[in-house]
Amino acid sequence: MALKFLKHKWQRISTIVLLVWVVLVLIPAVLINRYWSPILADKVKSELLASTDSLYKVDFTNAELHVLQGKIVIYDIKLRPDTAIYNRKKKQGLAPNNLYELQVKKLVVSHIHPFTLYFKNKLNIGRITLSAPSLQVSYHINHTKDTVVKDRRTLWQKISKSLKLIHVNEIFLNDVKFKYKDYSGEKLAVSELKEMNLKATDLLIDSATQTDRSRLLYCSDITTELYNYSGKSANGLYTYTVKSVKLSTKTSKLNVQDIVLLPVKPSNFFDNSKADRFTLRLDSLQLNKFDFLTYHKYHTLNASNLLLSNGTLSVYSNPNGAIKKTDRVITFPHVAIKKIKAAFNIDTLTVKHVNVLYNEVGKKSNKTGTISFNNTTGRFINITNNKDSLKKHNITTVNLTTLFMGRGKLDLSFVFNLTNPDNSYSYKGHLGAFDLPRVNQATMPLAMVKITSGKVNSLDFDLQATNKITKGRVSLLYNNLNVNLLRTDKDSSYSKKTLASMFANSLVISHDNPDKPGETPRSSAVLYTRPSNSPFFKTLWQALLSGIKPCAGLGAVKEKQVRAKMSDHEKKTQQRDVKKAERKRKRAERKLNRQHKKLAKQRKQLAEPNN
């Protein structure tokens, strides 16, 4: 059969070519696969030691080189730091802030050119795929800026004796299990991530890219995707969820979608915390020109713009009685910025279509009052706690446009001094026309006042403040103001104080400002002393309210006079009621006496016939 198969010339030629190919290609390839794999393993280990200054060691169970396929497969990789080397570098002040531990079941390197590597010392790879990698990063604060090292050589200079070039077109890490241990705080903070994918593009290490700052870790782009992340705060009072996070080092852009921060129930929260209670829902967060490398190395956040879009921030003032002795100046934004340990510098924070709600429980009503600022849009300029940046510019400015109680357009601006020891700031604004009864959701629970009618034409204010006192001026123009003063009944419902409401409407408040057309409207000077336990939003509101009251005729002197009149009227009313009750009692007593006499007479008449 074999002879018959080879009887034709073309068959014999094909067979010879095949045998030559087997001898010249397949047999060397098999030999290379068998004997070069240990050489490859030693090469990888030695290059890693050289490039990391002996800090890391790598082990794997097996390495296979498939010459014909242009593929390398490495199994069960374990990358770990050498703790002895690390501790030695730490004493020398040369230890990095981040330590890595990596485990990979299988690493596949495809589309390689082994002969180019062997004969020309150039490593060209099409793709590297890591299957089911597990990465752990431990963060320690060993230094806050790049350390000065004796060996100033770049990575390429360290490996150039054995490799002239390393190029990888794509690197894929899919389904990464990631654990991050932060040792920089008082307690160890651990974060674990799942459903994370990573892709690195165009990794190139050569003489040209060794100092190329447009590349991160020698890659033209590194993109990271994280889905369905959730966790709890260290104190257990908050849970947070994020639908997706995407980072691109090429565009220096971080995108986060569907952020939710939820606190535990109010009763549980306020029993365990003296802080205000926050709830946050945000559709998207975008960080532009994000310096990821600096953040990764030192936890320092630098970005040109932070954009927050479409969401709701709700602040619930802590009613906890124990907090009365605590100075809550920490709730002031510029004070909170100072207290953040991690350094950050954001040129511009842009807010678009965010609702802000302030909630507080009224002491008398025991009900929650709400002040709302709807569809808030604006910018915060220069948000930083970086010492060098503060020396150059220590002012944060804020310009916002919002709808007060969902109706009145409010243009609001703040100026915060980030270095002043008294935490000085100022705020001013203009509120357009809206119907006053819309604020009843705040005034009824918090002030026990129901506004039955009235319209604001404009509200203007310009106030300067520190953490202790607020000064400035307020002007409120309005028409047809009428109110009812309230009390709470046993069933927690509101009822009208008829007499007090009558006095308020007839003697206290001014129904219009100006009182008559053409007259100069009333305005009020503000001098408000902040109680130490008053948080930021409450301080803003109370200082503003102290200026609004006199504009409405509710000055302190007039209130005192009216209270005296009401007290005198109540005394006279009480005396009149006492006399009236006494007369009623005497009439009832005389009537009862007459009835007794009548009954006695009837008994006497009934007794006479028996006699």
> Among the listed ranges 76-90, 375-389, 433-447, which one has the minimum average pLDDT value?
76-90
- The model carries a pTM of 0.73
What is the rounded distance in angstroms from the CA atom of residue 601 to the CA atom of residue 517? 77
The pLDDT value recorded for residue 22 is 41
Mean pLDDT to the nearest integer, 469-482 = 94
Percent of the chain with pLDDT over 70: 82
Q: Which residues contact 438 (CB under 8 A, 6 or more apart)?
A: 405, 406, 407, 408
Cβ(139)–Cβ(101) below 8 Å: no
SS3 546: helix
The answer to whether the Cα torsion of 108, 112, 117, 119 is positive or negative is positive
Write the burial class of residue 206 (CB in 10 Å: 0-12 exposed, 13-18 middle, 19+ buried): middle
> Among the listed ranges 61-70, 89-98, 117-126, 421-430, which one has the minimum average pLDDT value?
61-70
* pLDDT one-digit tens code per residue, 186-204: 777 777 877 788 898 998 8
Cβ(121)–Cβ(160) below 8 Å: no
* pLDDT one-digit tens code per residue, 209-219: 888 878 877 88
Residue bearing the bigger pLDDT, 464 or 135: 464
Confidence bin at 424 (pLDDT 50/70/90) = very high
The pLDDT value recorded for residue 561 is 59
Confidence bin at 32 (pLDDT 50/70/90) = very low
Asked whether the predicted pLDDT for residue 2 surpasses 50, the reply is no
* pLDDT one-digit tens code per residue, 84-105: 888 888 888 888 888 888 888 8
Q: List the beta bridge partners of residue 384.
A: 345
* pLDDT one-digit tens code per residue, 229-266: 888 887 889 999 999 999 998 899 999 999 999 999 98
> Among the listed ranges 39-48, 266-275, 396-405, which one has the minimum average pLDDT value?
39-48
The pLDDT value recorded for residue 53 is 65
Cβ(482)–Cβ(506) below 8 Å: no
The pLDDT value recorded for residue 534 is 87
The pLDDT value recorded for residue 420 is 93
513 DSSP 8-state letter: B
Confidence bin at 372 (pLDDT 50/70/90) = very high
Asked whether the predicted pLDDT for residue 357 surpasses 90, the reply is yes
Confidence bin at 17 (pLDDT 50/70/90) = very low
Mean pLDDT to the nearest integer, 316-339 = 80
What is the rounded distance in angstroms from the CA atom of residue 284 to the CA atom of residue 258? 6
The pLDDT value recorded for residue 152 is 73
The pLDDT value recorded for residue 610 is 54
How does the average pLDDT of the chain come out, rounded?
81
How many other C-beta atoms lie within 10 A of the C-beta of residue 334? 23
The pLDDT value recorded for residue 309 is 96
The pLDDT value recorded for residue 3 is 47
The pLDDT value recorded for residue 402 is 96
The pLDDT value recorded for residue 240 is 92
Outline where DSSP puts E strands in 276-384: 277-288, 301-316, 344-361, 368-384
The pLDDT value recorded for residue 35 is 46
H/E stretch holding 296 reads helix 292-298
